[in-house]
A and B are shown apart, each in its own frame.
Chain A
Amino acid sequence: MKKIEAIIREERLDAVRIALEGQSYFGMTVSEVSGRGRQKGLTLQWRVGEYCVNFLPKIKIEVVVLDEDVPKVLNAITTNARTGEERGDGKIFIIPVEGAVRVRTGEMGENAI
């Protein structure tokens, strides 16, 4: 099992969710996060002039997948989160998962995801 942690643009969330559903992954955890990559900050308007906030709002999707599904899930996310902009499309991290438990039934391991 691997946890795919994808940090993407807010506006790409729905496309990525639909793509994950296409790979039969319906369960996921989504959070609003702030962060920065090469895009650095965001310039906003004050009453006069501007100021820069150092972190941008992004969406983090966490989904735990079977080892053999990793390539196709990564492909589904990257193709749908990519915008063609020069920067700011986000990053994906792949993390090994020790175990999993379905709370309702107590099922363990791959059966729980």
Chain B
Amino acid sequence: MSINSGDTAWLLISTALVMLMTPALALFYGGMVRRKNVLSTIMMSFAIIALVSILWVVYGYTLSFGPDKGGVIGGLDWLGLMGVGQEPSSVYAKTVPHLAFMMFQATFAIITVALITGAVVERIKFGALLIFSALWLTLVYCPVAHWVWGSGGWLGKLDALDFAGGTVVHVNAGISALALTLVLGPRKGFKERIPMEPNNIPMVVLGAALLWFGWFGFNAGSAVTAGGLASSAFVVTNTAGASAAFTWMILGWIHRRPSVLGAATGAIVGLAAITPAAGFVQPWVGIPIGAIAAMLSYYVMTWRSKANKIDESLDVFACHGVGGTWGVIATGIFATGAVNGVKGLIDDNWLQVPIQMTAIVVIVAFAFSITWLLAKLVDVTVGLRVTKEEETVGLDISQHGERAYGGLLR
């Protein structure tokens, strides 16, 4: 098949849109921490853009998408992008240059690693985070991406549906965030319920809005063509984000006030939930998928907050783990043949939901256990945590020697 310029243009734009999501995540997370840790939180995402971009072209892409080895991992044939050129791949996105598809996938790997950082802000040692991130990309992201999206990957062959990353990105990052937090432990003052005030909520909202914007590339770009399917995914994405933002706002209002932080969070949860379903369900389905995602995530977050046992600081699991899991199951429920030729429960395919759940269970078990081991490994070698003094002073000064809001005059 030859290159289609419309498809290529859309994929290149989508790639740029998804790339923007990681700096957006930096703002989203950065605004929620205390002012002494805002730069450190932003830097985690920003450094991961640089780190994963390099690892991806060196070996990440070929491990994930290279010629299949037994359904579990890609071969090293495309090491250093050898053989990945301007012509389309013979198996992926056959109407766009292989390089464009490779780069599109790079932006997914970047944001998935960056998502995890929300769980460990305000106390993880910067160097340890970088080592963990490189290991996690290699030993968790690449295999899981291959299983689901790689040609010959075993979950893909099982017909597990994941349009744009419900399992690979959201369930994967959500459960891994939980495992990493359990090894790292809570922030100082967490158990005593010392108030930890977000330093800049407008920045959180800007981050959430840019994530929403980038998500059009994430989901509609995952059609890897510029036609009806991309348009359908585009509409359902916006609908689900809106539905979840609105639902979260109402839930907050019932309990007290419609908080801005809550509405921004709701949007992200809805967008995470629609990700696996975006190219398989009809546009109206965004409404129930978003609303239910917001409710599930809201109550999981409430439970975590009341129990006060696990300091999964910015609720990566409650947002992405829970939203993503619901989205993957919902894909099995709402997939409609008319959209993309794949049928779910509402089209009388009773098998799809169990298949979706299998993919979730496998990925949760794998990602949780490997992440836990990797975290332990980094902890006993270089140490995961900053010292008590460094934590008290804040990571901006102690890790980076900078402060976010300098100067005597405001």
**A49 B195 Cβ-Cβ under 8 A:** no
In the bound complex, how far is the Cα of B197 from the Cα of A44, in angstroms?
A: 9
Query: How big is the A interface, by class?
Result: 10 to 19
**B298 A48 Cβ-Cβ under 8 A:** yes
Q: Which residue of B lies closest to A55 (CB)?
A: B195
**B256 A45 Cβ-Cβ under 8 A:** yes
Known: A48-B305, A49-B305. A54 touches B262 (CB 8 A): no
Write out, one digit per residue, whether chain A residues 39-54 have a CB within 8 A of any chain B CB (1) or not (0).
0000011111111111
Number of interface residues, chain B, beta carbon within 8 A: 18
B196, B197, B251, B259: most-surrounded residue (chain A CB, <10 A): B259
Interface SS, B side: helix
**A48 B195 Cβ-Cβ under 8 A:** no
CB distance from B73 to the nearest CB of A (A): 37
**A46 B261 Cβ-Cβ under 8 A:** yes
**B195 A50 Cβ-Cβ under 8 A:** no
Q: For B265, what are the chain A residues with a Cβ–Cβ distance below 8 Å?
A: 47
Counting CB contacts under 8 A, is B191 at the interface? no
**A49 B261 Cβ-Cβ under 8 A:** no
Q: How many A-B residue pairs have CB under 8 A?
A: 36
In the bound complex, how far is the Cα of B261 from the Cα of A52, in angstroms?
A: 16
Partner of A53, one of B197, B257, B261, B298: B197
Counting CB contacts under 8 A, is B312 at the interface? no
List B308-349 residues whose CB lies under 8 Å from chain A: 315
CB distance from A31 to the nearest CB of B (A): 11
Q: For A47, what are the chain B residues with a Cβ–Cβ distance below 8 Å?
A: 259, 261-262, 265, 301, 315
Q: Which residue of A lies closest to B299 (CB)?
A: A48
CB distance from B89 to the nearest CB of A (A): 41
State the 6 A-B residue pairs at the shortest beta-carbon distance, nearest first.
A45-B259, A48-B302, A47-B265, A48-B301, A51-B195, A47-B261
Residues of B within 8 A of A (CB): 195-197, 251-252, 255-257, 259, 261-262, 265, 298, 301-302, 305-306, 315
